[in-house]
Amino acid sequence: MVIDWSFWLTVVGTIATVVFGIWAILIAKKRAYPGEITFFHDRTIRLFDDITGSLPQLTVSYKGEPVKKNLTLIKGFLVNTGTKDITKEMVETPLTFELAEGYRWLEVSAKCSSNLEERAKITNPKIVEFSLGLFRCNEFLRFEGLLEVSEGKKWGGTIYHSHRIADTGDIKRKTVPGKPKTPWNDFGFYGSILYLFFIGGGCFIFFSSTKNLILEIGSFVIALVLILLGCLIVITVPMNYRYGRKIRKILRLDAD
């Protein structure tokens, strides 16, 4: 039996259109706003329990007094992960970090990566306000906040973010990975792509040379699935690489 190649090419085109159409919709939804700010949480340190709890002879002081059990230090990075710079003219209501009842800010610092200028201040015991100024793509603020936890409460890590900045969506929150991706990880993705193409093409050439219609159709389906998977990897790898490179840059600057 002769395979109707025009039919199968139509099937390939239809599947590819559906796959890349769905991908385009997801990307468009994700990038509804070109402006994007992400808070990368680095770590939370309970000054009494984590530092002095197991070493009674060691003391940490705050304003000349030994720290209390209810003092917690938060460290992280506020990063412009969008595709456009944020300017002063875009800000109608500044970005704020707000705590729930039972917690209050004692000290905060958010220094800009470009000029080490201080960009944070406490406007009331529960709210920190940020002055972003000109916040370019990939620039970040190194954030540190000391907060007090009321007696009987435990810090759960909840911080409420709010702002009214043009073309900018809600603040995203992520965790700085302990082992950020390296370029070799991304090279592994590209190697997988070549592997899939070779395997898919080899299956198709081998089985299509037989006289068995089922094997011919099966080889075609296998090759199609592997090639489409490879195309999706080609799309996602650059985004993953940029994300990993951004995280590596943040950690490197923080270590300097």
Look up residue 53 and give its amino acid: G
* Residue 58 neighbours by CB under 8 Å, 6+ apart: 51, 52
**pLDDT, tens digit, 9 for 90 and up, residues 206-251:** 555 656 666 666 666 766 666 666 666 655 555 555 555 666 666 6
Q: Which long-range contacts (CB under 8 A, 24 or more apart) does 15-24 make?
A: 15/224, 15/228, 16/228, 16/231, 19/228, 19/231, 19/232, 20/231, 23/232, 23/235
Confidence class of residue 64 from pLDDT cuts 50, 70 and 90? confident
Residue with tokens 């705590």: 99
The answer to whether residue 47 scores a pLDDT higher than 50 is yes
**pLDDT, tens digit, 9 for 90 and up, residues 88-140:** 999 999 999 999 999 999 999 999 877 889 999 999 999 999 999 999 988 89
Please give the Cα distance from 170 to 32 (Å, whole number): 11
Look up residue 193 and give its amino acid: I
CA 170-175-180 angle, 5° bins: 125
The answer to whether residue 185 scores a pLDDT higher than 60 is no
- Give the total residue count for the chain: 256
**pLDDT, tens digit, 9 for 90 and up, residues 157-171:** 889 999 999 999 899
Domains, the chain, with CATH or none: 5-30+179-255 (no CATH), 37-175 (2.60.40.290)
pTM for the model stands at 0.65
197 or 241: which carries more pLDDT confidence? 197
